[in-house]
Amino acid sequence: MTALRPARLRPSDLARLGTSGLRARPMRAILAALGISIGIATMVTVVGISASSQEQLLRQLDALGTNLLRVQPGDSLFGDRVRLPKSAADMVRRIDGVTHASQTGETGVTVRRNDLIPSGVSLGITVQAASLDLLDTLDGRVRAGTWLNAATERQPVVVLGAVAAERLGLTGPDVQVWMGDRWFTVIGVLDRMPLAEEIERSALVGFPAAKDFLNHDGHPTTVYERSADEAVEGVRAVLARTVSPENPNEAKVSRPSDALKAKAAAAGAFTGLMLGLGAVALFVGAVGVANTMVVAVLERRREIGLRRSFGATRGQVRAQFLVEAVLLSAFGGGAGVLLGALATMGYARINGLPAVVPVWALGGALATTILIGALAGLYPALRAARVPPTVALSGQ
Amino acid sequence: MNILEIRGVSKSYGKVMALRDVDLVIRRGEMVSVVGPSGSGKSTLLQIAGTLDRPTAGTVRVAGHDVSRLSDSQLSALRARYIGFVFQQFHLSPGASALDNVAEGLLYTGLSRRQRRARAAAALERVGLGHRLGHRPHQLSGGQMQRVAVARAVAGEPPLLLADEPTGNLDSEAGAEVMALFRRLNAAGITIVIITHDTEVAMACPRRVRVRDGLVRSEIS
């Protein structure tokens, strides 16, 4: 008499067993998996769109660099605006590691299409004096026309930022605009400058011209500085003291790329509402899977009894239905991942973003569906294992 | 040696006594019919003999194993190795071929898929359906379907075959065909127990056991 020990089911046999019910009723399997698909598709899309937007901003940031610093006068102890010295940019340029430094100064006048428009209408455009090397420091480009040079910085000519030109309704140079109390000739329009949006909204003239035609006092209101990447922190530490030795705490130093970084971080954070909706769909999907499995167990009592008569143990019956639930759920999850990835690619294509679906999201989605399937299948599988073997013989 | 020993077995469902103090011993190589009207307890007797259910009192031994001392999974292993079942309604999977239906019966024996299919083909050959391996159940006659079910029961070469009204759903010709098959299998060494209320089937067996009101009334030798 030998010891009785049930043989183990091979994984391949278990997988075949787990799919047998699904193959027998494919339509039901599809409908049961639909809820899970929708949930996973929603979540993958939300994550994918966020990741794509973030990728876009990060690529932009990469292209723009993070080594630009900006100094602006803060408010003094008594509440009035502090003035930066006229030679602030020159002083900054002497700091170790600084490669470029330039400055701009607000003139307080407005720019208008003609002299009939009241001087109070600014369109949100600032008229600023700009040093000649501003474009180098900001890594900006002229879209049309030319930038200022040593000759034109003394003349009543103006270069418009991209947004400023748009707001004035101008597309190219060689038109006249009214600034202060006289005509200026537009000689150039700048490209977009994501790191210095205030320049996009500016009309720029040379410092000498600002002094001669717009009564500017020559004090800069912003100093831009670019250094080697590794020198940024060191420069930042001494920047305020350099431009305002007496009152270093009255100069505000900022890093424009930080704003872009924050924007990227915000874009990377998914909207909780959409994720919540996905989670609800997943939950409903799990209930659907559980329901389908309970029905399947009821319908297949005879099959279960027959398998028990073949020698299947309770554990093997349990495993069969658990695997079926997991496969059903994973099938839904796989379809959901595919749909989500397609939706992300579609969205990215329409909006000109790089399509990014993070690998962790795909892996996470599949792991989640497997977990959901196991949870949803647990109760039906336990019920299946409790079906008595005698049902194989009973006539009903 | 005894393949099946039932001693002092009772089975009650609530207040209903399905079997009362039954003794039945079946030796290896026998071919036995269990006859009785419906409600006589013969199906309960088969469930208990096949270890699908446990008795309320008494002992059951299958191939020497005392069933009352086995766990549920050991009982499963016992069924896989020692007992083949044939049912009145065949219980074939409609979507699967004859070969796959027979091979499915070997799923819990630990054989590989290739081995299961090879044995299934041999078993179908043995019941005279070697030319019907790829047929689905709906493409077969009733007698052929029951022969597929018999092939499934004997593919693992169990020493004991239990059949519950195997001819109940068949016309007399197909029934005779299945009975002839049983006699051939028995001649080859398999112990066969057939539950039936068909006297013709019962008469075809060398040994007959009559069950009535939960009691084994008489043995006709």
Which CATH number goes with the domain that contains B166? 3.40.50.300
Residue A2 lies in a domain: no
Which residues of chain B are under the pLDDT cut of 50?
none
- A171 and A126 part of one domain: yes
Compute the distance between CA of residue A179 and CA of residue A107 in angstroms, rounded to an integer: 10
Q: Do B76 and A313 touch (CB under 8 A)?
A: yes
Closest CA to B163 of B132, B185, B130, B138: B185
Helix axes B72-82, A314-350, angle to 10 degrees: 100
- A251 and A292 part of one domain: no
Q: Count how many domains chain B has.
A: 1
| Radius of gyration over every alpha carbon of chain A, rounded to an integer in angstroms | 34
Note the pLDDT of residue B158.
95
Residue A4 lies in a domain: no
Q: Do A5 and B74 touch (CB under 8 A)?
A: yes
- A110 and A51 part of one domain: no
DSSP β-bridge partners for residue B164 = B195
In chain B, what residues touch A388 (CB-CB under 8 Å)?
52-53
Q: Do B76 and A308 touch (CB under 8 A)?
A: yes
Note the pLDDT of residue A76.
65
- A85 and A223 part of one domain: yes
- A49 and A120 part of one domain: no
Compute the distance between CA of residue B90 and CA of residue A134 in angstroms, rounded to an integer: 91
Residue A224 lies in a domain: yes
Choose the final residue of a domain: A263, A288, A312: A263
- A37 and A138 part of one domain: no
Choose the final residue of a domain: A246, A263, A280: A263
Compute the distance between CA of residue B136 and CA of residue B145 in angstroms, rounded to an integer: 9
Does B21 touch chain A if contact means CB atoms closer than 8 Å?
no
Q: Do B76 and A9 touch (CB under 8 A)?
A: no
* Residue A336, Cβ density class (10 Å: 0-12 exposed, 13-18 middle, ≥19 buried): buried
Nearest chain A CA: its distance from B78 CA (Å): 6
Choose the final residue of a domain: A238, A263, A288: A263
In chain B, what residues touch A387 (CB-CB under 8 Å)?
none
- A89 and A207 part of one domain: yes
Residue A15 lies in a domain: yes
Helix axes A256-268, A26-64, angle to 10 degrees: 180
Closest CA to A83 of A207, A243, A225, A224: A243
Which of A310, A314, A387, A394 would best serve as a mutation to test chain B binding (most B beta carbons within 10 A)?
A: A310
- Counting one residue from chain A and one from chain B, the pairs whose CB atoms sit within 8 A come to 100
| Radius of gyration over every alpha carbon of chain B, rounded to an integer in angstroms | 17
Q: What is the ipTM of this complex?
A: 0.94
- A149 and A192 part of one domain: yes
Q: Count how many domains chain A has.
A: 2
Q: Do A10 and B87 touch (CB under 8 A)?
A: no
Residue A117 lies in a domain: yes
Residue A283 lies in a domain: yes
CB nearest B72 (choices: A17, A24, A313): A313
How many CA within 13 A on the CB side of residue A353? 23
What value does the mean pLDDT of chain B take? 92
- A382 and A316 part of one domain: yes
Q: Do B77 and A307 touch (CB under 8 A)?
A: no
Note the pLDDT of residue A2.
66
- A179 and A93 part of one domain: yes
| Cβ count near A5 (within 10 Å) | 12
The parent domain of residue B107 ranges over 2-220
CB nearest B91 (choices: A7, A9, A306): A306
- A109 and A33 part of one domain: no
Q: Are A337 and A305 in contact (CB under 8 A)?
A: no
CB nearest A312 (choices: B76, B78, B88): B76
- A115 and A138 part of one domain: yes
In chain B, what residues touch A307 (CB-CB under 8 Å)?
107-108
Note the pLDDT of residue A396.
44
CB nearest B73 (choices: A6, A17, A302): A6
In a 3-state reduction of DSSP, which class is residue A65?
A: coil
Note the pLDDT of residue A204.
94
Taking CA atoms, A240 is separated from A172, A174, A232, A255, A288, in Å, by: 38, 40, 13, 13, 63
Give average pLDDT by consecutive 10-residue segment, chain A, 396 residues.
82 92 89 90 88 85 82 73 83 88 91 86 90 90 92 93 91 87 92 88 93 91 88 85 80 81 74 79 88 91 93 95 94 93 93 87 88 93 92 66
The parent domain of residue A366 ranges over 11-61+266-392
Nearest chain B CA: its distance from A297 CA (Å): 16
